[in-house]
Structure 1
Amino acid sequence: MLLDTTAHALTHRLAVEQSRGRAPSMVGAVSRGATVLWSGGRGEVDGAPPTDDTQYRIGSITKTFVAVLVLRLRDEGRLALDDRLGDHLPDTPVADATIAQLLAHSSGLPAETGAPWWERSDGSVRPDLASLVAEPPLRAPGRRHHYSNVGYGLLGALVGHLRGHDWFTAVGTEILEPIGMTRTTYHPSAPHAHGWAVHPWADLLHPEPAHDAALMAPAGQMWSTTADLARFGAFLLHGDDRVLSARTVEEMRRPSAPSEAGDADRSHGLGLQLLRHSGRALAGHTGSMPGFVATLWVDPAEDLAAVAFANATSGPAIGGLVAELIGIVAEREPLLPEPWRPAVVTEEVLALLGPWYWGAAPIALRLRGTDELTVGGLGGGARASRFSPRPDGTWVGLDGYYAGETLRAVRHADGSVSHLDLGSFVFTREPYAPGEVIPGGVPDDGWGATR
């Protein structure tokens, strides 16, 4: 549980945003791990304050669920992220974009379908995939980031084609049921908020439509509650082996496409938006549909997730609000580090640890826990990466400069370690010592020689 002062600060921040943004109603929640620490609601839905069981339309947060389904297919070996969409979806109007590019919005596709605007028209006006792509790609795939709702319509079709049933059926059986998200649906289910537009110059309301987006539904159709999205936030922090492993979820949170020009604090992972806010690295997604705005952010460093919804087309600054809810808890009640405990380490791994030299530059190999090496400078400042073991005794880089590169220990005939090879870089126990395996060789006159 939170301190009373922290809970009051969260409630106050939500109340300020509901009033400032002139939202008919607003709900929010903050969780740590699998525990909801706080939830609150302001305004009214059908004459009563909204609760953590009141549904709102979550808009583009839907895309994150589609991305999870695509990565499940990848982890099952049904596709590779570098595959072309046309390799798996025969009737696609866009064949050359890769699945990774579609996930990260670097496919070159336009943001929207042709007229009428898909968010405000019945999906029946677009009866086939060809009708989703009114314009040719804006640029060649992979050249730059450009957010595309159309791309996720195509990814939803890909999931349906490979699973043999529609994408939302897959969401239900593969994500919602295992995680226990019983109040996340395709169409609204009572109690739910109604979508409203607020007059820009008067405190008046106008009802907004809630059409079935059909083929574009993977871009923004779903409805959910703060209680359910808190569960999904815990999944985005830790994974769930019934859905996706923690390692794959971490892969989703890594940058895969740069930000748009002029927005250095934002980038995009595989189905997740990435945000730097007040020094914190957040991952999640914003969402909007006519009558609704929504945001889910997670902070892996603090093991926090926060979500907020409002039933107004515009006005509430929902993305910033959710980031600030995380900040309130992180600053007032920071996560305690796990107690240090000794690990079980094999002699073979232990022999790899300690100082090594790339030429004359010292680096250090350290072991985190029992199965993760780190390579970095002795005093910081050098290239640093984490490595995970492979069954063949090598290690693969997880991040940083050496992401995806192979680290291997090269051994003498007697089994002792001669040197380390990291993507052809040779690391030795001594800097340019006689007998060391140094590319280009080592002069016989050694250190201290003058020319």
Structure 2
Amino acid sequence: MTLAQSTAQPTAQSTEVPPSEPVRQEPGAAGTPEEFTEPLPQTRRALLRRLAVGQAEGRAPSMVGAVVRDGRAVWTGARGSVEGEVPHGDLQYRIGSLTKTFVAVLVLRLRDEGLLRLADPVGRHLEGTPVPDATIAQLLSHSAGLAAEPRGPWWERTAGALRPEPADLFDEQPQRLSAGRRHHYSNVGYALLGALVERLRGGVPWGEVLRREVLEPLGMGRTTLLPERPYASGWAVHPWADALLPEPAEDTGLMGPAGQLWSTLQDLCRWAAFLLRGDERVLGAESLAELRTPAVPPESGTWDAGYGLGVQLLRREGRLLVGHHGSMPGFLAALWADAEEDVAAVVLTNCTSGPAVGAVATDLTGILIAHEPRIPEPWRPLPGPLDPELLALTGPWYWGATPHALRLRAERGLELTSLSGAGRASRFRAEKDGTWTGLDGYYAGETLRVRRDGDGAVSHLDLGTFVFTRGPYEPSAPVPGGVDPDGWRV
């Protein structure tokens, strides 16, 4: 159906709003340092100026933006107007392909519950698709080689009822490129993922699954499939004149998982905080880190930009940003988050093209980081009791002649670092069987084992067949190939 849309034109006024109240996380969400407050006046002015430049140069009827730090919104701003009023944090805008980040979280929840594997072909779980061999991971990362858009008319401006079944989304050539070799953005791939969620949730529509499993736990009550007042109308701006044209807003049906959602600045600040920190009620930090891992080489051939599992990746001035752009007729959106700095920005506007919302969002994060560098958390000792056997494992270890250090971390975790700057490093998670599993770097997924001699004393560490000893080429340890009996010489 066609959604009701006002044709009243926005006025030419340009206004601003003060910083918002903090986003209140629901119980179980990450905490916020009590000492962190809103940015300093000079920082707020720089943030507002960047938003104002983006709105003015992009000729947007309205633009709203926010910056999130330490799990809460610390600044919001607005320029332009909607129906003659200053836009505010509870005003809905359409967020386009930011929807894909929500769908990806739903799929990872299914994986974590054991209902699917990312390596599964989608045809194993979803009947009737013309691309049954495309894996779920390939659909998430846009690497299945599928067509970018569905067959038929411009889907974003067309009622979804024209494509009632998943097979109706594809023409006679559903796969345009070899699977798994390169990134090729595909909106129809996410339509299949939405249908997959519905199938594995017993026929419950993906939007209802999203509301129940993600939006409600995170307190995102203003994120919906269809607009709920108050919401902004979408506009096209004439390229050669300061004139406006109303844009239609359709219910896109099966294509909804590619870009249907409407949301607010306040809700998306909660979403940004979740993407940075996770929430065990929805998806843990480890699975979120998996989303942020590059899946295939990027379309451009450079690593300045890439794609993970449902999220875009971007490098700016040495920082890695994760998030997504969004566009639908009448609307543009961007969310970019810096996990290392725990900072994110959201920008929303109600016009089809023109404003560089992605650049505005990345600049907002950069302004806050540059003006007010992050204050590190205070050091605290590990919670007790301390295991003396684990403590005895710490200190220097050698792979051959290369020195490393093993450190004890929280929850019996270990961290291996190189002391020469040339060796490999990784963090390790403790397992119930007394081993450790690598979390990152070269040893991600590999198993670290403590080996003991016949007397029960620690002999060496075995890490994926690599032997680490207490001394460089320790003669008493089982170094593969043995150690020359004459030892070191000059």
Pairing 1:9-408 to 2, within 5 Å after superposition:
9-134=46-171, 135-164=173-202, 165-343=204-382, 344=384, 345-408=386-449
Deviation at 1:90, TM superposition (A): 2.0
Question: In structure 1, what is the Cα distance between the partners aligned to 2:296 and 2:359?
Answer: 22
Question: In structure 1, what is the Cα distance between the partners aligned to 2:305 and 2:238?
Answer: 30
Structure 1 stretch displaced more, 214-223 or 272-281 = 272-281
AA at the equivalent of 1:314: S
Q: TM-score, normalised by structure 1?
A: 0.97
Deviation string, structure 1 residues 291-324 (Cα, Å, up to 9, x no partner): 1110111111221121001111111111111010
| Structure 2: stretches of 5+ with no match in the other structure | 1-37
Deviation at 1:263, TM superposition (A): 4.2
Deviation at 1:256, TM superposition (A): 2.1
- Given that residues 428 and 437 in structure 1 are in contact (C-alpha distance below 8 angstroms), is that contact kept between their aligned partners in structure 2? no
3-state SS of 1:230 partner: helix
Question: In structure 1, what is the Cα distance between the partners aligned to 2:461 and 2:83?
Answer: 67
Question: In structure 2, what is the Cα distance between the partners aligned to 1:385 and 1:162?
Answer: 36
Deviation string, structure 1 residues 59-109 (Cα, Å, up to 9, x no partner): 000001001111111111111111111111122221112111111111111
3-state SS of 2:300 partner: coil
Question: In structure 2, what is the Cα distance between the partners aligned to 1:176 and 1:385?
Answer: 34
3-state SS of 2:147 partner: coil
Matched, 1:425 2:479: no
AA at the equivalent of 2:369: A
- Given that residues 399 and 469 in structure 2 are in contact (C-alpha distance below 8 angstroms), is that contact kept between their aligned partners in structure 1? yes
Structure 1 stretch displaced more, 67-76 or 85-94 = 85-94
Identity of aligned pairs, percent? 61
| Structure 1: stretches of 5+ with no match in the other structure | none
- Given that residues 209 and 290 in structure 1 are in contact (C-alpha distance below 8 angstroms), is that contact kept between their aligned partners in structure 2? yes
Deviation string, structure 1 residues 17-68 (Cα, Å, up to 9, x no partner): 0000000110011111332111111111111111111110000000010011
For residue 442 of structure 1, the aligned residue among 483, 486, 489 is: 483
3-state SS of 2:216 partner: helix
Counterpart for residue 5 of structure 2: none
- Given that residues 334 and 346 in structure 2 are in contact (C-alpha distance below 8 angstroms), is that contact kept between their aligned partners in structure 1? yes
Question: In structure 2, what is the Cα distance between the partners aligned to 1:324 and 1:410?
Answer: 50
- Given that residues 410 and 418 in structure 1 are in contact (C-alpha distance below 8 angstroms), is that contact kept between their aligned partners in structure 2? yes
- Given that residues 409 and 417 in structure 1 are in contact (C-alpha distance below 8 angstroms), is that contact kept between their aligned partners in structure 2? yes
